[in-house]
């Protein structure tokens, strides 16, 4: 049965998802996409594409979450800066030792409460297992947050905390791949839209890493996979 996700839309679901996917995986602006669509004989305003991105980015992320294969039990946790309305906010991220995405969270603050909220969120996801070790940088908030989660029985007492900067090179590289997509956006205008778009960017990065079950990544297979998640005929 076809999805109702595109009911009442003036464009086919495939066209909508094409624009959303390209915005989330390539360093393109809404104006760039408007011009690309015009060359293909499709007249769509860049503000319409923006609305599609805001609406469907969280949906893509939600649907992908249900299809993920398990990550391993060696976590790398870090945060990077994201500009929202001219002010720096914090994108918390975690990957495993293979570079697979564990979870992410945009936060207005960079402190113990934010670190703890992020780690608890990651632990609650079905595709993640209890970590054996959590590698963090020298941010003093992490050991405090981890110990609190241990005391609350959310984390095993045996989980090791490592504060070794070079071991987090794998997540630093992953940050850069996200920043490359964000660069043409010149900062987000509000926290809500930033959160929605980042969900989509992270989701497409997860797809590219091949984290979806029974899916071998290629550009053509990616389009087919996303369309199928939305109930569209490939």
139 and 225 both lie in a single domain: no
Q: Is the pLDDT of residue 1 over 50?
A: no
Q: What total of structural domains would you count in the chain?
A: 2
CA distance linking residue 227 with residue 221, whole number of Å: 10
* Same domain membership, residue 155 and residue 79: yes
pLDDT in tens, 176-228: 989 899 887 877 989 999 999 999 999 999 999 999 998 888 888 999 999 99
Give 8-36 pLDDT, tens digit per residue.
888 999 999 999 999 999 999 999 999 99
- Give residue-wise pLDDT tens across range 167-177: 778 998 899 98
Q: Classify residue 55 by burial, with Cβ atoms within 10 Å: 0-12, 13-18, 19+.
A: middle
Has residue 5 been placed in a domain?
no
Q: Which of 135, 158, 178 is the last residue of a domain?
A: 178
Residue 208, domain extent: 13-68+190-229
Q: What is the pLDDT of residue 192?
A: 96
Identify whether residues 24 and 41 lie together within a single domain: yes
pLDDT tens digit string along 62-105? 999 999 999 999 999 999 999 999 999 999 999 999 999 999 99
Q: How far apart are CA 95 and CA 13, in angstroms?
A: 32
Residues 62 and 121 in one domain: no
Asked whether residue 6 is domain-assigned, the answer is: no
160 within a domain of the structure (yes/no): yes
**Residues 112, 196 within the same domain:** no
Q: Are 117 and 136 in a shared domain?
A: yes
Same-domain pairing of 30 and 100? no
61 with 96, same domain: the answer is no
Q: What is the CATH number of the domain that holds 143?
A: 3.30.420.10
Residue 222 domain-assigned (yes or no): yes
Binning pLDDT at 50, 70 and 90, where does residue 2 land?
very low
Among 137, 154, 178, the domain boundary falls at: 178
What is the model's pTM? 0.93
């Amino acid at each position: 049965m076809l999805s109702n996700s595109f009911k009442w839309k003036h464009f086919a679901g495939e066209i909508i998802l094409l624009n959303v996917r390209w915005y989330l995986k390539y360093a393109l602006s809404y104006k760039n996409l408007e011009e690309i669509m015009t060359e293909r004989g499709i007249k769509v305003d860049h503000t319409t594409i923006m609305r599609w991105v805001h609406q469907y980015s969280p949906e893509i992320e939600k649907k992908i979450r249900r299809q993920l294969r398990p990550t391993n039990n060696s976590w790398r946790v870090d945060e990077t800066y994201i500009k929202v309305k001219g002010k720096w906010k914090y994108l918390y991220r975690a990957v495993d030792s293979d570079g697979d995405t564990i979870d992410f969270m945009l936060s207005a603050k960079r402190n113990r409460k934010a670190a703890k909220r992020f780690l608890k969120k990651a632990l609650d996801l079905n595709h993640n297992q209890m970590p054996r070790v959590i590698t963090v940088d020298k941010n003093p908030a992490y050991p405090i947050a981890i110990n609190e989660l241990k005391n609350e029985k959310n984390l095993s007492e045996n989980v090791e905390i490592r504060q070794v900067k070079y071991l987090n090179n794998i997540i630093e590289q992953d940050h850069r791949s996200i920043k490359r997509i964000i660069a043409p956006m010149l900062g987000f205008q509000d926290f809500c839209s930033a959160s929605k778009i980042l969900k989509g960017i992270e989701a497409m990065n997860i797809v590219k890493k091949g984290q979806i079950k029974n899916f071998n990544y290629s550009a053509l297979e990616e389009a087919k996979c996303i369309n199928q998640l939305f109930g569209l005929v490939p």
